[in-house]
Amino acid sequence: MIVLEDVHKSYGKLKILRGCSASVKLGEVVVVCGPSGSGKSTLIKCVNGLVPFEQGSITVDGVSVSDKKTDLPMLRARIGMVFQNFELYPHMTALENVSLAQIHVLKRSRAEADAGSEKLLARVGLGGKLASRPSQLSGGQQQRVSIARALAMDPKAMLFDEPTSALDPEMINEVLEVMQALALEGMTMMVVTHEMGFAQRVADRVLFMDGGEILEDTPKAQFFTDPATERAKQFLTKVLTH
């Protein structure tokens, strides 16, 4: 579904990604973890072309992200993305947030879009918050609206960039539960997260990044019991004990 081959990315002289290769198969859930600054966000944003890269290739559902002839907006419409800081449109209601791209990208009528949005918001447990603005919602609720917004495009795959890092601890679970339900329904997912509990329950494989490289790409069970690299071991002790 998602195939990355030897992706390189620098900002000026600074090398951020040094040849990353990985793949996420249809229906698979891959968790990406690693220390802060290791390039996880950059990598996941390369997948839907939000961050351009200089070398290597990424294909999603057979379509190349970096090919000039690719209609990037059309490709992005088929890949949902959820950000660390929710990034909801603050001047719109929850319903409008979810409907906007349905109307302007999928060309649905407003009524049709709103009906779809209502269903999705109900599905993430926010059926009663249709008319609320982001500022009136808790972090966990905002993040669930943001998941609904991404799902509204009927995506083939979902990208999550630390979806629970900005949340108060008591709100983390409500978001993880929505994600877990999504995974059980067979959604293809690439999830940057430090929630190792989520990884243990839901992931098929774990990618471990450090210094712009993917140091490990291992099935979940092996990653937690017997990581191949020393750095992954250190990382695990840190996140599992805190």
Partner 1 sequence: MNYRWNWSILLQEPYTEWLWSGLQWTVAISLVSWAIALSVGLVVGVVRSLPSGILRVIAGVYIDVFRNIPPLVQLFLWYFVLPEIVPETIGLWIKRDLPYPEFVTAVVAIGLFAGSRVAEQVRAGIEAVGNHLMPAALATGLRPLQAFRLVVVPLGLRAIVGPLTSEFLVTVKLSSLSLTIGVLELTAQSRHIENYTFQGLEAFTVATIGYLVIGLCVTGLMRLIDDRVGGAALRRAGS
Select the binding partner of residue 37 from partner 1, Mg ion, ligand ADP, none (C-beta < 5 to 8 A, by kind).
ligand ADP
Task: Map the footprint of ligand ADP across residues 16-45, applying CB under 6 A.
Answer: 16, 36-42
Select the binding partner of residue 201 from partner 1, Mg ion, ligand ADP, none (C-beta < 5 to 8 A, by kind).
none
Select the binding partner of residue 141 from ligand ADP, Mg ion, partner 1, none (C-beta < 5 to 8 A, by kind).
none
Tokens of 134: 């982001």
User: Could you tell me the smallest distance in angstroms from the CB atom of residue 206 to ligand ADP?
Assistant: 15
CA distances from 161 to 118, 190, 228 (A): 25, 9, 24
Select the binding partner of residue 90 from partner 1, ligand ADP, Mg ion, none (C-beta < 5 to 8 A, by kind).
partner 1
Q: Tokens 């959820």 map to which residue?
A: 82
Pick from 76, 72, 15: which is nearest to 42 by CA?
A: 15
The DSSP secondary structure of 158-218, one letter per residue, reads EEEESTTTTS-HHHHHHHHHHHHHHHHTT-EEEEE---HHHHHHH-SEEEEEETTEEEEEE
Q: Is 218 in the site for Mg ion (CB under 5 A)?
A: no
Candidate residues 7, 16, 33, 41; the one interacting with Mg ion per rule CB under 5 A = 41
Which residues here bind ligand ADP, judged by CB under 6 A? 11, 16, 36-42
